[in-house]
Structure 1
Amino acid sequence: MAHEILILGGGGQVGTELARRAWGPGVAVHAPARAALDVTDEAAVAAAVAERPWRAVINTAAYTAVDKAEGEVGAAWRLNALAPAYLAAATARAGIPIVHVSTDYVFDGSGEGAYATDAPVRPTSVYGASKAAGELAVRTTNPRHAVVRTAWVVSPHRANFVKTMLRLAAERDRLTVVDDQRGCPTSAGDLAAALAAIALRLAEDPGAPAGTYHCVNAGATTWCGFARGIMAGAQARGARSVPVEPIPTSAFPTPARRPANSELSTETLTQAFGIVPRPWTAALDDILDQLIGPAKQA
């Protein structure tokens, strides 16, 4: 019998990578469009989970407009807190494991070094608070769960920081980027591979470890450092590259407060599942290869 995996949020960066990846023989994935399944509708979620003998459910659906969430509190909480609660309840009733994606925004960013998975959550934004509530709903409702926090997700798909920097470089002679927020850039493709491995392990092994994990690419930088890496990669591929100048967060005010430190430790991910994330620089190279083309030979 094929392993049938249900993916929610299939239209986003991570969902796109999950749907297009090679899962291997005996695995079939289903990623219904948002119009086909409203994850904030409890009855619809229950019906979708009960529809087939799913081996696992992966939830990547989220309200991710961080600044907009400050003015759309109800919408953010419905998608980031209530929807995971509905999914956790439905999967628990069916005895199905759930893999739920969360965020570095559950932390306030005041810590030193990389956050461990058991560090206290102290969200400072509506987005972060709603995601923390979603985590709690999953943890307390379905014992067979993996909550996977990530950060700074980029890919060749949808809107993201890499594509924005390349677009702005084509329009401007220089870029100014915040240099006092630090974190770990993460490839949506690498994250999808980890989520797939975790979901299959939970599906096949009733004794597989449940818990909370962090999945980000290895290494940390600032947004300015990330932008400079993107520009260097563009230049190596013969695309337009412009200087990147550092600015403080205070020079670029936003409605939602960003964590100054978004570094996440992946130690428990490696211990539980043997997943060792590669450096973000290598992941960025793969993304730029898809967006621009391979680097020119020296």
Structure 2
Amino acid sequence: MTYLIVGAGGHLGGEVARRALEQGHRVIGTYHSAPGEIPGVGWRPVDVRNRVAVRELCATVRPSVVINTAARYGDWATTADGAASVALAAADVGARLVHLSTDALHGGRPEPYGDDEVPSPITPYGASKAAAETAVRALHPGAALVRTSLIIGDERSAQVRLCIDMITGRTSGVLFADEFRCPIGVADLAGAVLETAVTGHAGVLNVAGPDAVSRAELGELVARHFGLDPMRVPVGTIAAAGLHRPGRVVLDSSRAAKLLTTRIRGVRELLDHRPE
């Protein structure tokens, strides 16, 4: 089959593209500024904010599956309007669509969030991701919307890089002890996304790690994994910083566990050993 990976130049998109190639598929990957370095991918430049360009690309490629990993923090046009462009183009050619969403569209609460929870964003980025889901549901009702959490990998992972930069002093700031998420490994998430593409599941599917950890604890795990001093993790709280952002956002991924065979490892298992 032909897979169109929108945002294949990014961390998750690149991993999805690599794994799709390994499964024997033809893979077309889009990029905005520069192509990635994955042999075998057919790279195509496209700006998801340009609805005409996205529709022309899909009409030319005629993909069987479209996987949209494109989003940009603070950029409504890319995150929300871009999602609408991709959904419309995928629907036009009758392609299966998997849209990547996020736990950032929830406002935070003590109880876990199920798959069918209505978004409750309290940040602009959360609002843009909620709007993206609304557009995808309206324009491509058969699409799967994968809500995930912090994506963990090597130094290319934005979450890992943030921790390292704060621990080493390259970036100022603190990691919050009262902000909890369910980190997931990039390889595990990519496998789950590709499996979701062939299940026929429509609607939201939570796919996140089984461990709920604070940002501060994640920083300590990253420090140990990369041979840094965990005592140097700068720790603070949302309350002390006077910020308005979600505190505890835990995704209940039990539906995905029943639907998919991909094993999702906990963050402690992922970061248990130092890299070679």
Normalized against structure 1, the TM-score is what?
Answer: 0.81
Matches within 5 A, 1:114-153: 114-153=112-151
Q: 1:241/1:122 Cα in 2 relative to 1: closer, same or farther (>3 Å)?
A: same
Paired position in structure 2 for 1:280: 267
Match of 1:49 in 2: 58
Say if 2:257 is the partner of 1:247: no
Task: Tell me, yes or no, if structure 1 residue 108 matches structure 2 residue 100.
Answer: no
Against the structure 1 CA distance between its residues 95 and 176, is the aligned structure 2 distance closer, same or farther, given a 3 Å change threshold? Answer: closer
The CA deviation at 1:96 is 0.8
**1:178 and 1:252 in contact (8 A); partners too:** no
Normalized against structure 2, the TM-score is what? 0.87
Q: Does 1:213 align with 2:202?
A: no
Amino acid at match of 1:92: A
SS at match of 1:269: helix
Contact 1:187/1:284 (8 A) holds in 2: no
Aligned residues: 262
RMSD: 2.2
Deviation at residue 197 of structure 1 after TM alignment: 1.4
Shift of 1:274: 3.7
Q: 1:106 to 1:168 in 2, by over 3 A?
A: closer
Question: Aligned pair in 2 of structure 1 residues 157, 49: CA closer, same or farther (>3 Å)?
Answer: farther
Mapped to 1, the partners of 2:189 and 2:216 lie a distance apart of: 23
Indicate the SS of the match to 1:263: coil
Q: Counterparts in 2 of 1:1-298, with a 5 A limit? A: 3-21=1-19, 23-35=21-33, 36-64=45-73, 69=74, 76-109=75-108, 111-158=109-156, 160-171=158-169, 176-199=174-197, 201-202=198-199, 208-234=200-226, 239-243=227-231, 244=233, 246-253=235-242, 257-285=244-272, 288-289=274-275, 293=276
Q: Which runs of 5+ in 1 are unaligned?
A: 70-75, 203-207, 294-298
Tell me how far apart the structure 1 counterparts of residues 112 and 261 of structure 2 sit (CA, whole Å): 19
Determine the structure 2 residue equivalent to 1:72. none
Q: Whole-Å Cα distance in 1 between the matches of residues 114 and 139 of structure 2?
A: 23
Does the 8 A contact of 1:13 with 1:154 survive in 2? no
- Percent identical across equivalent pairs? 30
Q: Which amino acid aligns with 2:55?
A: A
Q: Deviations over 1:107-144 (max 9, x none)?
A: 111x2232101122111111111110110111121122
CA contact (8 A) 1:105 1:258 kept: no
C-alpha contact (below 8 Å) 1:149/1:213 kept by paired residues = yes
- Matches of 1:39 and 1:176, distance apart in 2: 33
Q: 1:258 to 1:217 in 2, by over 3 A?
A: same
Structure 2 counterpart SS, 1:213: strand
Three-state SS of the structure 2 residue aligned to 1:123 is coil
8 Å contact from structure 1 (residues 184, 221) kept in 2: yes
Provide the C-alpha distance between the structure 2 equivalents of 1:225 and 1:185, rounded to a whole number of angstroms: 11
- After superposition, the Cα gap between the structure-2 partners of 1:7 and 1:157, relative to the gap in structure 1 and judged at 3 Å, is farther
Match of 2:41 in 1: none
Q: Measured at CA, do residues 168 and 128 of structure 1 come closer, stay the same or move farther in structure 2, by a change above 3 Å? A: closer
